[in-house]
Structure 1
Amino acid sequence: MWQEMAKFGKKLVDHGLVESNFGNISVRIADRMIITKSGVALDEITEDGVVEVPIEGTSELDRIASTETVVHRAIYRNTPALAIMHAHCPYSVVQTLIGDPESIIPLDSEGIHFLHEIPVFRGMMGTAGLAEGAANSLSDHKGAIAYSHGTFAIGKTLAEAYIITTQIEHSCRIKYLVDLAKKGIPGTP
């Protein structure tokens, strides 16, 4: 499983969706999850870069697991997700900082069709507040953005979570560029 996580970690970094040592990836296996360790470079994941922890309760290994382990647990408890990706996608973060939205409505046809809207939630990194916001947002969406922090995407597979991550970032980039262009056109709001 770590090989699949390594593949998508590298894709996230290569496509500028996360800086190497930030973000995290997990996969659910029954009542446990395999999650990246804290500080592991996502483009250099090895077998030693992941840890297996329970979804219910905690374990001694939590101290070396990602700081967002609490968030992944809450998402797995409250959604049918089998895979989770958390990335610090730049345009997605920027969109949360512009106008303090509760959600972002995509303008591009793919975003409208696949995402409909992108919830924005708040909470400090690695806290119960962030976990609750993520779990609530992802209970009826496949992707959401933590204010000023980045995307959380879920899927039945890592590939599905990756596609949701890229779609959110694409939609946020298109929205940013359209809004920027409108500011330069006289007579447009």
Structure 2
Amino acid sequence: MWREISRIGKKLVDSGLVESHFGNISVRVGNRMVITRSGSALDEIGEDSVVEVRLDGTCALDIIASSETIVHRAIYKNTHALAIVHAHCPFAVVMSLLAHEDSVRPADSEGQYFLGNIPIVRGGIGSEELAANMSQALASHKAAILYSHGTFAIGRVLDEAYVLTTQVEHSCKIRYWYDLATKTQAPVTP
């Protein structure tokens, strides 16, 4: 399992969706989850960079697991997710800061089709509030943006959660550039 997490971690860093030591990845295995350890470099994941923790409550290994373990646990309990990717996508963060609504509306057709409106969720990092809010948002969406912090995407496998992460970032880039262009572009007269 750690090899799959490592593969996705490298892809996230290589594509600029996260800096090496930010973000986390998990996979559900029955009533447990394998999750990256706190402070792990996502582009250097090894067998000792992940930890297996319970889903039905806290356990002793939570102390070395990702600071977002509580959020992953709530998502697994309240959705059909089998894999979660949390990344610090730069354009998604920017769009959450600029948004005047509680979601980002993709301007691109792929974003509209695959994501619909992308919810912006609030809550402190690794908090019960965030766990409740994010798991609620992901019960009806494939991905969501954590205000000023990054994205969470779910899937049946890690590749699906990764692709959704890339789609959110792509749609946020397009939305940002579109909004910028329409605000600075001189009106076209016939």
TM-score tier after normalising by the smaller chain length: over 0.9
Cα RMSD between the aligned structures?
0.9
Hey, what does 1:62 align to over in structure 2?
62
Q: Which amino acid aligns with 2:147?
A: Y
TM-score, with normalisation over the residues of structure 2?
Answer: 0.97
Hey, what does 2:83 align to over in structure 1?
83
For 2:94 and 2:132, how far apart are their aligned partners in 1?
22
2:98 is the alignment partner of 1:98: yes
4+ residue runs over 6 A deviation = none
For 2:75 and 2:148, how far apart are their aligned partners in 1?
19
Q: Which amino acid aligns with 1:157?
A: V
2:123 is the alignment partner of 1:123: yes
TM-score, with normalisation over the residues of structure 1?
Answer: 0.98
For 2:176 and 2:186, how far apart are their aligned partners in 1?
18
For 2:144 and 2:34, how far apart are their aligned partners in 1?
21
SS state at 1:162 partner: helix
2:34 is the alignment partner of 1:30: no
For 2:101 and 2:158, how far apart are their aligned partners in 1?
28
Deviation at 1:101, TM superposition (A): 2.5
Q: Which amino acid aligns with 1:16?
A: G
For 1:80 and 1:152, how far apart are their aligned partners in 2?
14
Q: Which amino acid aligns with 1:159?
A: D
For 1:74 and 1:149, how far apart are their aligned partners in 2?
18
For 1:104 and 1:152, how far apart are their aligned partners in 2?
14
Q: Which amino acid aligns with 1:80?
A: H
Unaligned runs of 5+ in 1: none
SS state at 1:52 partner: strand
SS state at 1:53 partner: strand
Q: Which amino acid aligns with 2:64?
A: I
Hey, what does 1:52 align to over in structure 2?
52
Hey, what does 1:73 align to over in structure 2?
73
Q: How many residues align?
A: 188
Deviation at 1:100, TM superposition (A): 3.9
Hey, what does 1:151 align to over in structure 2?
151
Q: Which amino acid aligns with 1:81?
A: A
Identity of aligned pairs, percent? 60
Unaligned runs of 5+ in 2: none
Deviation at 1:182, TM superposition (A): 1.1
For 1:35 and 1:101, how far apart are their aligned partners in 2?
32
